[in-house]
Amino acid sequence: MNKTISLQDLGLKDYKQTWDYQEQLFKTIVDVKIKNRREDTHIETNNYFLFVEHPHVYTLGKSGDMSNLLLNEKQLNEKGATFYKINRGGDITYHGPGQIVGYPILDLDNFFTDIHKYLRFLEEIIILTLADYGLKGERSDGETGVWLDVGTPFARKICAMGVRASRWVTMHGFALNVNANLGYFDNIIPCGIRGKAVTSLHVELGLEKVDETELKEKLIKYFSELFEAEFFE
């Protein structure tokens, strides 16, 4: 089992270009697995982790409701935003500058074949990272992602998640609001959940800007520990 992960920081990159790149990496892993099964070979599969920030974009998952996007095409253009229907789970979400997005493209046969555990591990990475900043991240029953003040009138989401998996290969991942412009969330019903607020780390800490490089290092540290993996660039 290959527990090494290639770490790539793509910087600010168009959503569709990044999606295509994810699909390309995803396919290379799946193709190796198909070849191994058909030809009874044992070629090692690779694992990847992409950090990226996207220009303003709204994405709708397979089971999502189009009515949760509150803008028409003209209004999207006015806000400099794009929109895509995509092949992950979950409903609608927003990506934009100041939001750290992590896309693990892993062969779970190298780690564990349990999607529920995989999602809980992604949430735990965020929870452990937030704890380093003095915040108590929590899970909310039936709502994938990480929240603050769950069970109170002040519950607010700080990290959204949506993944796709086929043949135990993953893509898509998490989106953590770090220095995000929260106004863009006003144009959707985030994740299809009415009456729940969204927040960002810099708002919670009362800072103008959180050091994103330091935050990424924390995410990788906890990812390495939970998945017992080794990252390389």
DSSP string over the chain = ---EEEEEEEEE--HHHHHHHHHHHHHHHHHHHHHHHHHT--PPPP-EEEEEE-SSEEEE-TT--GGGB---HHHHHHTT-EEEE-SSSSSEEEE-TTEEEEEEE-BGGGT-S-HHHHHHHHHHHHHHHHHTTT---EEETTEEEEEESTTSTT-EEEEEEEEEEETTEEEEEEEEESS--GGGGGGB-GGG-TT-EE--HHHHHT-S---HHHHHHHHHHHHHHHHT-EEE-
Q: 173 and 90 in contact (C-beta within 8 Å)?
A: no
pLDDT, averaged per 10 consecutive residues of the chain (233 residues), comes to 97 95 98 96 97 94 85 90 84 92 98 97 98 97 91 93 94 97 86 74 98 98 98 96
Q: 170 and 128 in contact (C-beta within 8 Å)?
A: no
What type of residue sits at position 226?
A: L
Is residue 159 part of the annotated active site? The answer reads no
A 10 A CB-CB count for 171 gives 23
pTM: 0.94
Q: Which residues are annotated as a binding site for substrate?
A: 88-95, 160-162, 173-175
Burial class (CB in 10 A: 0-12, 13-18, 19+), 223: buried
Architecture of the CATH domain 4-232: 2-Layer Sandwich (3.30)
What type of residue sits at position 37?
A: R
CA pair distance 78, 56, nearest whole angstrom: 12
Spot the catalytic one: 50, 86, 178, 191.
191
Rounded to 5 degrees, what are φ and ψ at 173? 170, -125
Q: Which residues are annotated as a binding site?
A: 88-95, 160-162, 173-175
> What tokens appear for 91 in the block?
């409903």
